[in-house]
Amino acid sequence: MLNQATLAALMAGDHSDPFSILGMHQVDGKLTVRALMPGAVNVALVEIKTDRQLVSLERIEGSDIFTAVVPRRKNPFPYRLRIDWGSHQQELEDPYRFPPILGEMDVWLLAEGTHIRPYEKLGAHLTEMEGVSGVSFAVWAPNARRVSVVGSFNNWDGRRHMMRLRRECGIWEIFVPHLAAGDLYKLEIKGQDGSLHLKADPFAFRSELRPNTASVVQPIAPVYPSTPERRQANSLQSPISVYEVHLGSWRLVPDDGCRWLTYRELAEQLIPYVKDLGFTHIELLPVSEHPFDGSWGYQPTGMYAPTSRFGTPDEFRQFVETAHANGIGVLLDWVPGHFPTDAHGLARFDGTHLYEHSDPREGFHQDWNTLIYNYGRKEVANYLIGNGLYWIERFGIDGLRVDAVASMLYRDYSRKEGEWIPNQYGGRENLEAIEFLRRVNGIVHTQRSEATTMAEESTSFPGVSRPVEQGGLGFSFKWNMGWMHDTLKYMQEDPVHRRYHHDQMTFGLVYAFSENFILPLSHDEVVHGKGSILSRMPGDEWQRFANLRAYYGFMWGHPGKKLLFMGSEFGQYAEWNANSSLDWHLLEYPVHSGVQRLIRDLNAVYRHFPALHQLDSEPRGFEWISHDDRDNSVFSFIRRADDGDFIVVVSNFTPVPRHAYRIGVPQEGNYREIINTDNNVYGGSGVGNGMLRANPVGSHGRSWSLEMTIPPLATIMLKLEP
């Protein structure tokens, strides 16, 4: 007989080891079976092999626990429970008759925090045990008093499927027979203080559409094949021109309540659009499940679940496959820097500060009202590192753009004196975060060598995109935030004043090859009152568009990979509004369609001529012709390829055409304009040169030179004819 304390604990859902009591056990030499069945009238034991009812279980008085001694049996055997619910009968497999789920090696690696693919073991997995199909559940909650799987399959009753604790690693597990894909579930966690927490599964592969927050049983996606083509497309020497997109507001369907496009519709509309404009990659604002639309995905609660806003995980994978079939790589904004405080998420997951720091000086982002991961806790780091690999390995994501790296690197990020805790050496660097980032990059690059990683990092932290073995963080690329801020500030100046700010356009070349840079004009630059890129350009209507086109030409000529946020490619007037569609109607006007055509042509020449991309990260790929013509606000430089082929780039950032302007060039021959942002087809004034012949007249330290007309507020690119 069970004592009253054990009965009370089981009935209250407060027993930490239900597997030691429930199910089939040898007790005092007798084979005994026990089942906790709230609401049942009668329970009987059925032998699976013979399909015979062997014994009826008796209810223990004052409880919903049924028990019986199995007659004439000594050894455990497979069985089912035949349950009379009063209104109907049902036969169920008893989850407490099945063995542990995790193997010894998995337990070892998970406890050590070195399991490269924790998502293959933790979470919910469709599986078969002892010939029975169902779902295995496993969750890390080492400080919980009790953990249960709840859902409609057990009336959300935490007493029905209390899990087994693997004390070696702090993971709770259970196999629930008969569950299938599409079933909803959550984890009911009782803390040591008796508090109940109803949580979504941190490793759930699918989630309900907000505002609902349950996890959904979903088959894990198969491993996505690696190809030499993807590896080449993501290399340092390849053209990388990125179109950054927020899927919820790129284009809405006006005839259907202005709803979002689905993943399938995005594959049909967005991918051809990106391909037509010549972008090599598309970067998605975070698609990990998130509760609040207004966070744009940057406050995720379901790191392993593509958001259900646009469809299923399978449909998201098909979106990626469509992109690849069209030669487009897919990059994903990835957020390991912080997470929201929503009750169903990771905050105080097992009743303690498990994923986050307990001290708000370490564990709370004041800027975003979010929590900070405890990177020093090996299981937390393993959860995140596995997630980065998961997106690449299971969905074919080509690269991770890691969000808010600067906030991760420094303990005093956006904090006043006394609001942060120094590291063990008294410094401001977050040593645990630095080690975490190195591990992420190391594992991603060794496990999937075709993948790339990109850091949104705005400080002077050294070696962000240098190998770990050389003391770097190991990223493939770093966003060049300094270039972005300097050049945008310059472009906002009235042309008559630009001579006094000339260095803002040249300073980026002082450090251009210290990292592998991406030049970003991202979503952050077109929100929160900053206006659109076009709206920052000075002058009348014509000058604003001319400035924009000249700026884009300068950007595509400048060393560094390119990134442009959606809407900027056709000169949207208004700043980005995540709640509405882009202003596609503007393309009816030539000035806007002209900007779009320029982007298409810039991408075409960028991809076609290795001089514009091959040596982006090497000093030998760039050479100034003139960087000091402040009075005319003219910049001229040479971009070179590995074989010595070159492109000449000249920008004039005043509305005055510069006639008979001479620049030195490397060699004699005919030079053809391959880009002129003042071309009529782009909405310009049509001032240009067509073909130019180099003369043996010395200029800028060279024996040959070109005499040209530089159009007003324009960038031109010149190619030596063979």
User: What 3 state SS string does 665-676 have?
Assistant: ECCCCEEEEEEE
User: What is the C-alpha separation between 198 and 349, in angstroms, rounded?
Assistant: 9
User: What is the C-alpha separation between 594 and 679, in angstroms, rounded?
Assistant: 9
Residue 1: CB atoms within 10 Å:
8
* Cross-strand bridge partners of residue 684: none
For the question of residue 244 being annotated catalytic, the response is: no
How crowded is the C-beta side of 216, counted as CA atoms within 13 Å?
18
Judged by phi (left if over 0) then psi (alpha if -120 to 50, else beta), residue 648 lies in: beta
User: Strand 171-177 to strand 184-190: parallel, antiparallel, or no bridges (unpaired)?
Assistant: unpaired
CA dihedral of residues 200, 203, 208, 209 (deg, nearest 10)? 110
Q: Find tokens 């789920």 and name the residue.
A: 101
pLDDT averaged per 10 residues in sequence order, the chain, 722 residues: 87 91 92 94 95 95 93 92 94 95 96 96 97 97 97 94 96 97 97 95 97 97 93 95 98 86 98 98 98 96 98 98 97 97 97 96 93 97 98 98 96 94 95 97 96 95 95 97 97 97 97 97 94 96 98 98 98 95 96 98 98 97 97 98 97 97 96 98 95 96 96 98 92
Can you read off the two tokens belonging to residue 278? 């010549």
In the three-class reduction of DSSP (H, G, I as helix; E, B as strand; rest coil), residue 547 is classed as helix
Q: Where are the alpha helices (DSSP H) in 558-617?
A: 590-608
Q: Which one-letter DSSP state was computed for residue 99? A: -
DSSP of 360-394, one letter per residue?
HHHHEETTTTEE-B-TTSHHHHHHHHHHHHHHHHH
For the question of residue 456 being annotated catalytic, the response is: yes
Contact 139, 122 (CB under 8 A): yes
Domains and CATH numbers, the chain: 4-96 (2.60.40.10), 104-216 (2.60.40.10), 615-720 (2.60.40.1180)
Of the residues 201, 283, 403, 569, which is catalytic?
403
In the three-class reduction of DSSP (H, G, I as helix; E, B as strand; rest coil), residue 629 is classed as strand
What are the Cα distances from residue 75, in Å, to 27, 71, 131, 639? Answer: 11, 11, 19, 79
Nearest CA among 154, 39, 153 for reference residue 88? 39
Contact 501, 543 (CB under 8 A): no
Residue 623 pLDDT: 97
Can you read off the two tokens belonging to residue 327? 């030669």
Of the residues 93, 289, 456, 457, which is catalytic?
456
What are the Cα distances from residue 612, in Å, to 22, 142, 663, 717? Answer: 69, 54, 19, 10
Global pTM reads 0.95
Nearest CA among 484, 524, 491, 489 for reference residue 508? 484
Residue 119 pLDDT: 98
How crowded is the C-beta side of 577, counted as CA atoms within 13 Å?
9
Contact 172, 147 (CB under 8 A): yes
In the three-class reduction of DSSP (H, G, I as helix; E, B as strand; rest coil), residue 652 is classed as strand
In the three-class reduction of DSSP (H, G, I as helix; E, B as strand; rest coil), residue 42 is classed as strand
Residue 331 pLDDT: 98
Residue 704 pLDDT: 96
Residues whose CB falls within 8 Å of the CB of residue 428, separated by 6 or more in sequence, listed in order? 410, 411, 412, 420, 422
User: What is the C-alpha separation between 603 and 275, in angstroms, rounded?
Assistant: 10
What are the Cα distances from residue 451, in Å, to 83, 275, 335, 469, 704? Answer: 53, 20, 17, 19, 43
Nearest CA among 190, 182, 188, 189 for reference residue 215? 182
**710 φ, ψ (degrees, to nearest 5):** -95, 120
